[in-house]
Amino acid sequence: MKGNRAKILRNRVAQEAALLLYTSQEKEYKQAKKRAAETLGARVLPSNFEVAEEMDRIAEEREGASRKEMLLRMRREAREIMEALDGFSPRLVGSVWRGTARKNSDIDIVTFSQDHLQVLNQLQKHNFEAESSEWRSVTKEGRKESSFHIHVILPSGDEVELMVRSLDYLGKLQRCETYGDARTGLSLNQLTKILKENPLQKFVPI
């Protein structure tokens, strides 16, 4: 009985954290879970995976059919950009790859180049204007990693975040902090195939 109560409370924390993230009251899973637990007076914390599942459910309930239309549009837009950047081994990652995109989601694409200016120039050549760009650094396993980020706003109003990584990272898979699996993403050929065969397909662990 005690274990069952803990499970119910854990689920409630996941639901509250998901709502905080969905309504943009929090941006990071860690902070959302901490705030949710404090609100509910709980000590148990759900996994990021559990919170992501709850957030997906909330989005499905609130956005309905328009969510599917948005995902299809964003995947098609991603393909256009990836075609323009085909020489930089682009991969679609994030919620548009996963099939869990919701309102306020953006299109995340990773490219690989030793010169970020080449990517910027290629975007401009295909009439994609960069709204802003910046270098970002993170520390993973004690090692500092830097990447160049380019933000593009499309005519539809959808936002794109392009990450330019060194060629040293090409082919190296990273672990997804939300789902715990490998963040494989989709290549241009894979995305094109998905759009033809199963455009709303989800890529989340079962």
Question: Would you tell me the crossing angle of helices 29-40 and 48-63 to the nearest 10 degrees?
Answer: 90
SS3 state at 146? strand
Percent of the chain scored above 70 by pLDDT?
A: 98
pTM here? 0.90
Percent of the chain with pLDDT over 90: 84
Superfamily designation of domain 66-197? Beta Polymerase, domain 2 (3.30.460.10)
> pLDDT per residue over 115-174, tens digit each?
999 999 999 999 999 999 999 988 776 788 889 999 999 999 999 999 999 999 998 888
Spans of all domains in the chain: 2-63, 66-197
* Edge-to-edge order in the sheet of strand 159-165: 91-93, 107-112, 159-165, 143-153, 130-140
